[in-house]
């Protein structure tokens, strides 16, 4: 359990600045998720915290100690890689115990710690197998076990679930959340999947092009996105965003309304449009509308609504659910 603090962290590759001054505090025991589109610098930031990538300038503090120039192994972190990065020539047991054996801990102690971790992650039956003989989910657990056994102050995860199929992913999401509750450790988790971010995070950090766009709890980001970028990134289906003339007519630079905050009716409403396409998801229905006044508009309504393509409908925003942004992001 430790606090992580980043101060004016920058990173350039040659002349290209990919990290443009990051200030961030992750509180002890927090589950902090970095989200953002591909290439925005999430991995780079995580790897700088891990010490695998050196910052160009700025400072990293873990547990109140400046670790900016420490070796990765001296920072009190453990990292889980997207590719798992298990040592193929070692058994599960030796994979988990690798760090301890490098530190020349006594054999008995290693065995006891590794067994304890195997217990937590239910790896018992696989302890003597090689990684090759494990499924994706099991490999992922071994990778997590290798992190746990180091007893780190901070766990770092770089898209650990992106190689798993949807069902396994949601199961592992749950397991990770439980693990976090059980260990109480600080965790920093990188993903580009906003569902993972929303379901697991205590705190979400939305990144864009090497900058932090907004930091907040999942509901804060959903209810009060600070910029159009965050507004468009958090929430599914994504918020309808309009700029240019449309927004200017409403007195702002960017106007946003979430699909679930549109009321659709056949009789009256603010905008009139034609249903172009209907997506039925069971519990609810996604309507794609052509509104002459705005352009394309996506709305979410009841699962058993009776709209059909070609139909002319009316849409109005729920009061207080509209977003008006000044300068476009």
Return residues touching ligand ATP (CB under 6 A): 13, 18, 36, 38-44, 192
The site string for another protein over 88-127 (x = CB under 8 A, - otherwise) reads: xx--------xx--xx------------------------
Nearer to another protein, 40 or 142 (CB): 142
Q: Can you tell me the distance from the alpha carbon of 326 to that of 265, in angstroms, rounded to the nearest whole number? A: 30
Q: Can you tell me the distance from the alpha carbon of 157 to that of 113, in angstroms, rounded to the nearest whole number? A: 22
Q: Which of 83, 112, 122, 274 binds another protein (CB under 8 A)?
A: 83
SS3 63: coil
Nearer to ligand ATP, 79 or 96 (CB): 79
Cis? peptide before 26, omega within 30° of 0: no
Q: Least CB distance from residue 207 to Mg ion, whole Å?
A: 11
Q: How many CB atoms lie within 10 A of CB 150?
A: 20
Q: Can you tell me the distance from the alpha carbon of 156 to that of 79, in angstroms, rounded to the nearest whole number? A: 5
Partner from another protein, ligand ATP, Mg ion, none contacting 41, C-beta within 5 to 8 A by type = ligand ATP
Contacts of 168 (CB under 8 A, 6+ apart): 136, 137, 161
Q: Can you tell me the distance from the alpha carbon of 156 to that of 85, in angstroms, rounded to the nearest whole number? A: 14
Regarding 4 and contact with another protein (CB under 8 A), the answer is: no
Q: Can you tell me the distance from the alpha carbon of 152 to that of 148, in angstroms, rounded to the nearest whole number? A: 7
Regarding 69 and contact with another protein (CB under 8 A), the answer is: no
Partner from ligand ATP, Mg ion, another protein, none contacting 87, C-beta within 5 to 8 A by type = another protein
The site string for Mg ion over 38-77 (x = CB under 5 A, - otherwise) reads: -----x----------------------------------
Nearer to another protein, 111 or 238 (CB): 111
Contacts of 323 (CB under 8 A, 6+ apart): 225, 228, 231, 239, 254, 255, 256, 257
Nearer to Mg ion, 43 or 214 (CB): 43
Partner from ligand ATP, Mg ion, another protein, none contacting 39, C-beta within 5 to 8 A by type = ligand ATP
Answer yes or no: are the C-beta atoms of 86 and 139 closer than 8 Å. yes
Helical segments of the chain, H only: 42-50, 92-102, 107-120, 136-148, 166-183, 194-200, 218-223, 228-233, 245-249
- Piece in contact with another protein (CB under 8 A), picked from 37-45, 65-73, 199-207, 232-240: 65-73
Partner from Mg ion, another protein, ligand ATP, none contacting 192, C-beta within 5 to 8 A by type = ligand ATP
Q: Which pairing describes strands 254-257 and 240-243: parallel, antiparallel, or unpaired?
A: antiparallel
Nearer to another protein, 134 or 257 (CB): 134
Nearer to another protein, 77 or 121 (CB): 77
Q: Can you tell me the distance from the alpha carbon of 247 to that of 205, in angstroms, rounded to the nearest whole number? A: 27
Nearer to ligand ATP, 38 or 306 (CB): 38
Applying CB under 8 A, which residues contact another protein? 50, 52, 71-73, 77-79, 81-83, 85-89, 98-99, 102-103, 146, 150
């Amino acid at each position: 359990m430790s606090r992580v603090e980043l101060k004016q962290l920058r990173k350039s590759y040659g002349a290209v600045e990919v990290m443009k001054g990051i200030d961030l505090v992750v509180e002890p025991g927090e589950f902090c998720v970095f989200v953002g589109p591909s290439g925005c610098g999430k991995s780079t930031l995580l790897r700088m915290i891990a010490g695998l990538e050196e910052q160009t300038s700025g400072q990293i503090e873990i547990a109140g100690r400046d670790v900016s120039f420490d070796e990765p192994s001296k920072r009190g972190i453990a990292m889980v890689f997207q590719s798992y990065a298990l040592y193929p020539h070692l058994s599960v047991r030796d994979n988990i115990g690798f760090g301890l054996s490098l530190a020349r801990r006594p054999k008995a102690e290693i065995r006891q710690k590794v067994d304890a971790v195997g217990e937590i992650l239910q790896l018992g039956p696989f302890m003597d197998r090689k990684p090759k003989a494990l499924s994706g989910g099991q490999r992922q657990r071994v990778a997590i076990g290798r992190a746990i056994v180091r007893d780190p102050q901070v766990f770092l995860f770089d898209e650990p679930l992106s190689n798993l199929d949807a069902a396994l992913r949601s199961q592992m999401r749950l397991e990770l959340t439980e693990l976090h509750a059980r260990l109480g450790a600080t965790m920093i988790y990188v993903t580009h999947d906003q569902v993972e971010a929303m379901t697991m995070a205590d705190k979400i950090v939305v990144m864009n092009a090497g900058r932090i766009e907004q930091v907040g709890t999942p509901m804060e980001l959903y209810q009060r996105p600070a910029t159009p970028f965050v507004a468009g990134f958090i929430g599914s289906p994504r918020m309808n965003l309009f700029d240019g003339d449309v927004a200017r007519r409403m007195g702002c630079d960017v106007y946003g309304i979430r699909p679930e905050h549109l009321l659709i009716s056949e009789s009256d409403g603010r905008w009139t449009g034609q249903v172009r396409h209907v997506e039925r998801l069971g519990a609810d229905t996604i309507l794609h509308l052509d509104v002459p006044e705005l352009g394309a508009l996506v709305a979410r309504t009841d699962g058993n609504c009776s709209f059909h393509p070609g139909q002319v409908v009316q849409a109005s925003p729920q009061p207080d659910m509209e977003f008006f942004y000044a300068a476009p992001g």
